[in-house]
Each structure stands twice: as structure tokens, then as C-alpha cells.
Structure 1
Amino acid sequence: MSEISPRVNSAILPRFIGQIVRIPCKILTTTENTVTVQTSDGGEILVKFTGDSGITTTFVEIIGHVVDATTVRKAGVINLKSDLDLQVADKVIKLIHDPRFFSTIFS
């Protein structure tokens, strides 16, 4: 299952400690080597990176390794258009992680 990177929100993130995930989100603040983002469910997480963040838009999908319940180490970033609807993204994430569908989607 190491090649699978499911999309998650802040509530689901703790289930994937030690794994790679995708987080559709909005950039809130940026420092030299961290970014604070708002996830699709309105939570906030810290994304750590080295070098250039690669972030050029307000809405991005972070691909990264989950360090703990609120921290991700960035492996990649996909810059998204400015009209991303995080509420719709969150509905999709919740549907994907519904026990009725998760094993079908990720098996």
C-alpha cells in the first residue's frame, strides 16, 4: 500500500502517520521552510519543506509524508486554480474514506 496516496483532510490525517497522502488546501502563511495550510475541513496543518516550496498559487495539493497528527513533510506540490471549492473537495474526501467505499477504492 506504500504507492497509494489518498486525499485527506485534517481530521483524517492522523490515521496516516508514516504514510504518503495528498492534501487539497489553501495557503495561509509561509516561512522560510514551513507553510501553514487550511485543509478542506477547515483545519490547519503545518507543512515542512527544504529548498524552494514550489508553491505559486493560493490553492494547492500537497503530496507529503505524514510526520504526526498536524505535520506533513512535503514531497511535492500541485498548484491549483484559484477557484478550488474546498467544501466540495471535503465532501469527496469524506466519501472516499467512508468504510463502505475505502477498501474498494484502495485495494
Structure 2
Amino acid sequence: MERPAPCPRVNFALMERYIGQHVLLVCKLDSLEPQMNRAHVVTSDGGRVTVALKTATFDSSFVEFEGIVDAPNQLREEARCEFGSSFDMTTYDRLCQLSNTDYKTLFA
């Protein structure tokens, strides 16, 4: 049985490479529009992204979304994992950079 390729980890700068594809995006919630099922988030490199949500309920400030990139600053949620109220975004941003360069095979 063939295993599907893992989703690439992205920050704001990397999202435009993956339009139409599944990605993992860790971010901090900035604001919610529950009536529109939308969240505005800040990425590990300080970019701002709008996420189309399945549900607009959160118990966490930091969230990892698995979703499809619809535009360079838009993500459509397919799944999520909440990371709590404290997360090192600087280190995560470095991980995103490394996993999309010469070290890509280490993360596959």
C-alpha cells in the first residue's frame, strides 16, 4: 500500500508556492468572524492569512491547520490541531524554511 506524501509545512512567504495544494500552517489567532466561519491569523513569519473554517470555535491561541491554499493569503481548513496558549513561532518558522529547502528529504 502506497503512503501519501506528507503535507508541506508553510509560513506566509511559502504559501504562494502551494496554491491548490494541501499544507500545514501553524499560526496565532488574531480575530474571528464566527458568522462567516472565518479566522484571521498571523503566521510564523508575521504574515496575515484568512482561514475559511469548518467551525469557528477555539480553545487555543496557537493552531495548526491542515488545509488547501486557495490564494497566497487564504487557506481552506480541512482539519486542525490546537497548540495551546504558548508556542515558539520563531523556531517553527525556521523549521518551515528548512523543510522547504535542501533539507526537504529529512521531512518527507
Taking structure 1 as the reference length, the TM-score comes to: 0.88
Q: Could you tell me which residue of structure 1 aligns to residue 82 of structure 2?
A: 79
Pairing 1:27-106 to 2, within 5 Å after superposition: 27-32=29-34, 33-50=37-54, 52-98=55-101, 100-102=102-104, 104-105=105-106
**Which of the pair is proportionally richer in strand?**
2
The answer to whether the Cα contact below 8 Å between 2:68 and 2:77 also exists between their aligned partners in 1 is yes
CA RMSD of aligned residues (A): 1.7
Q: Rate the CA distance shift 1:80–1:68 in 2: closer, same or farther, 3 A.
A: same
One-letter code aligned to 1:65: I
Q: Rate the CA distance shift 1:19–1:78 in 2: closer, same or farther, 3 A.
A: same
SS in 2 for 1:91: helix
Deviation of the 1:21 alpha carbon: 0.5
Deviation above 6 Å: which 4+ runs of structure 1?
none
- 5+ residue gaps, structure 1: none
- 5+ residue gaps, structure 2: none
Taking structure 2 as the reference length, the TM-score comes to: 0.87
| Separation in structure 2 between the aligned mates of residue 12 and residue 2 of structure 1, nearest angstrom | 21
Tell me the number of residue pairs that the alignment of Structure 1 and Structure 2 aligns: 104
SS in 2 for 1:64: strand
One-letter code aligned to 2:103: F
- Percent of aligned positions with the same letter in both sequences? 31
| Separation in structure 2 between the aligned mates of residue 18 and residue 78 of structure 1, nearest angstrom | 21
Q: Could you tell me which residue of structure 2 aligns to residue 22 of structure 1?
A: 24
